[in-house]
Amino acid sequence: MCGVFGIFGHPEAANLTYLGLHALQHRGQESAGIATSDGRQLSLHRGMGHVIDVFPPEHIERLRGTNAIGHVRYSTAGGSFLKNAQPIAVEYARGSVALAHNGNLTNADDLRERLEARGSIFQTTSDTEVIVHLLAKSEQKSPEDRIADALSRVQGAYSLLCLTPSSLIAVRDPRGFRPLCLGRMPAEGSWVVTSEPSSFDLIDAKYERDLEPGEMIVIDERGLRSLRPFASARQSMCIFEYVYFARPDSILDGISVYEARKNLGRRLAATHPVEADVAIPVPDSGVPATIGYAEQAGIPFELGLVRSHYVGRTFIEPQQSIRHFGVRLKLNPIASVLRGKRVVVVDDSIVRGTTSRKIVKMLRDAGAREVHLRISSPPTRWPCYYGIDTPTRSELIAATHTIEEINQYVTSNSLAYLSLEDMRAAVLDARTAAPEGRRALPVANEGSGERSFCDACWSGRYPVEFTPHPRQRQMSLLDF
């Protein structure tokens, strides 16, 4: 679930990319990087940590040029090491190129083995480097044709930015798993591409449209042109973007994330009501859903948990020990809101159950009389192979336990999840909230929402078939 940002034709390309990555920091906190082009050669700086730590002013000043791409990383393929930070920049027979990738390639290990058998030497453990090697081996002449040739051999999710000395190329995979948006800075005539349109607001760029699934955009001295190098496929936008990952102020494929989350809460209250005195969110992603829940249920909305914004999002921390410590460090209850109250606490998901258990205990210790847990998505029973860090079923509490067993484990008075059908409907209903000009892309089987989104982590139905490679079959123990 990384974030990518690119800009073409601006004298402050590095500075604006730095700001654009700030707006995408929620999508990855392990590393950050920026590559720039001055028309002749590429410059690159990468580092571990947050954007503000990786790019002090002296490093930004060294990144010269009017074109740039940037990346914030959350690892799902390859470990959390500097060698895996992006963009990846290389020199090869046809010149230099830098790549920034959001997504996960499901056949990366098989392709890597074949490439290594033919003599390729890999410097990282990231699946993105597979694309680099395929690109270098392509016999096509133009950069866009070489990229299309390379991507025709991969499977899975990719929203990709590619920077050459003279061009910026953006590609969204044929199913559109991950978002990618196009904007423009009218005064300078500069083009901007980013994972979420919240980046546009920060740099005063104007949203133009979303890249459509399977679309490639090439920006160079001749302007912008759109290509369709891949066969069409059924749209499979990751619905978890609307439930958790995207910023609430983003509009993706014409659907308001904020309104989608409020709709999730409204449907949750309608289908799973409970007698309660107050509704509180697990901040921050649970806030809009709790607003919707409280409105529908007619009970007060309160902030019963305060989040420290100097701590990362615990779900995407790379180490289990950090994740557990982060719960205690990140949240603190407001006893005056909770004492003696029957509390509904709304969260976006339960993955392993350990975080929810700690939150319920925290609320009881602060004086809550009852704690009723409501989840604005279905039980997470299947791993994601397209870019979310749930690699094995054994890590997912709902894969091996009933809802009542989970309720007993987390020690809540009651537990209820939103159904798959209600989740799809809630997100689709948010299309009407999108401002004019941000029309949602057409969806397959629109009447039911079936397969309009990727919901494999809840349904087990994978849009792209995936057979785990032997090195990916190691199973970790469920922390239960």
Q: Which residues does residue 375 pair with via DSSP β-bridges, in sequence order?
A: 347, 417
What is the pLDDT of the chain when averaged over all its residues?
A: 89
Confidence of residue 475 (pLDDT cuts 50, 70, 90): very low
Distance CA 347, CA 440 (A): 26
Among the options 2, 181, 384, 454, which is catalytic? 2
- Residue 388: the pLDDT is 77
Four-point Cα dihedral 157, 162, 167, 169, nearest 10: 0
Asked about 384 being catalytic, the answer comes back as: no
The pTM of the full predicted model, rounded to 2 decimals, is 0.89
Task: Write out pLDDT tens, residues 390-433.
Answer: 658 888 999 999 999 999 999 999 999 999 999 999 999 998 65
Give the whole-number percent of the chain exceeding pLDDT 70.
Answer: 88
Confidence of residue 294 (pLDDT cuts 50, 70, 90): very high
Task: Write out pLDDT tens, residues 433-460.
Answer: 555 555 555 444 333 334 479 999 999 9
Four-residue CA torsion sign, 117, 123, 125, 127: negative
Confidence of residue 329 (pLDDT cuts 50, 70, 90): confident
pLDDT(471) > 80:
no
pLDDT(470) > 70:
no
Task: Write out pLDDT tens, residues 209-239.
Answer: 999 999 999 999 999 999 999 999 999 999 9
Determine the average pLDDT of the residues in 18-35. Answer: 96
Distance CA 71, CA 35 (A): 9
pLDDT(335) > 80:
yes
- Residue 479: the pLDDT is 26
Confidence of residue 1 (pLDDT cuts 50, 70, 90): confident
**Domains parsed from the chain with CATH numbers:** 3-233 (3.60.20.10), 252-440 (3.40.50.2020)
- Residue 10: the pLDDT is 97
Four-point Cα dihedral 180, 185, 189, 193, nearest 10: -10
| HEC sequence for the chain | CCEEEEEECCCCHHHHHHHHHHCCHHHCCCEEEEEEECCCCEEEEEEECCHHHHCCHHHHHHCCCCEEEEEEECCCCCCCCHHHCCCEEEEECCEEEEEEEECCECCHHHHHHHHHHCCCCCCCCCCHHHHHHHHHHCCCCCHHHHHHHHHCCCCECCEEEEECCCCEEEEECCCCCCCCEEEEECCCCEEEEECCCHHHHHHCCEEEEECCCCCEEEEECCEEEEECCCCCCCCCEECHHHHHHCCCCCEECCEEHHHHHHHHHHHHHHHCCCCCCEEEECCCCCHHHHHHHHHHHCCCECCCEEECCCCCCHHHCCCHHHHHHHHHHHEEECHHHHCCCEEEEEECCCCCCHHHHHHHHHHHHCCCCEEEEEECCCCCCCCCCCCCCCCCHHHCHHHHCCHHHHHHHHCCCEEEECCHHHHHHHHHHHHHHCCCCCCCCCCCCCCCCCCCEECHHHHCCCCCCCCCCHHHCCCCCCCC
CA distances, 202 to each of 24, 177, 196, 244, 421 (Å): 11, 25, 11, 21, 35
Q: Which of 37-41, 106-110, 122-126, 308-312 has the lowest mean pLDDT?
A: 308-312
- Residue 464: the pLDDT is 87
Determine the average pLDDT of the residues in 193-218. Answer: 96
> What angle do helix axes 257-271 and 287-297 make, rounded to 10 degrees?
40
- Residue 434: the pLDDT is 56
- Residue 480: the pLDDT is 22
pLDDT(357) > 50:
yes
pLDDT(311) > 80:
no
Q: If phi over 0 gives left and psi between -120 and 50 gives alpha, with beta otherwise, what is residue 34?
A: beta
Distance CA 386, CA 464 (A): 9
pLDDT(256) > 80:
yes
Confidence of residue 320 (pLDDT cuts 50, 70, 90): low
- Residue 35: the pLDDT is 98
pLDDT(361) > 50:
yes
Confidence of residue 385 (pLDDT cuts 50, 70, 90): confident
Confidence of residue 321 (pLDDT cuts 50, 70, 90): low
Confidence of residue 122 (pLDDT cuts 50, 70, 90): very high
Per the listing, tokens 């989040």 go with 307
Confidence of residue 477 (pLDDT cuts 50, 70, 90): very low
Distance CA 246, CA 250 (A): 7
Distance CA 64, CA 15 (A): 10
In the structure encoding, which two tokens stand for residue 220, read together? 């160079």
Q: Which of 75-84, 136-145, 172-181, 244-253 has the lowest mean pLDDT?
A: 75-84
Burial zone of 310 (CB within 10 Å; 0-12 exposed, 13-18 middle, 19+ buried): exposed
- Residue 169: the pLDDT is 98
Distant-in-sequence, close-in-space partners of 243: CB < 8 Å, separation ≥ 6: 260, 261, 264, 285, 348, 349, 376, 377, 423
Measured in degrees and rounded to the nearest 5, phi and psi for residue 67 equal: -125, 145
Q: Which of 86-95, 327-336, 378-387, 445-454 has the lowest mean pLDDT?
A: 445-454
Distance CA 31, CA 166 (A): 26
- Residue 449: the pLDDT is 39
Determine the average pLDDT of the residues in 292-321. Answer: 79
Distance CA 395, CA 434 (A): 36
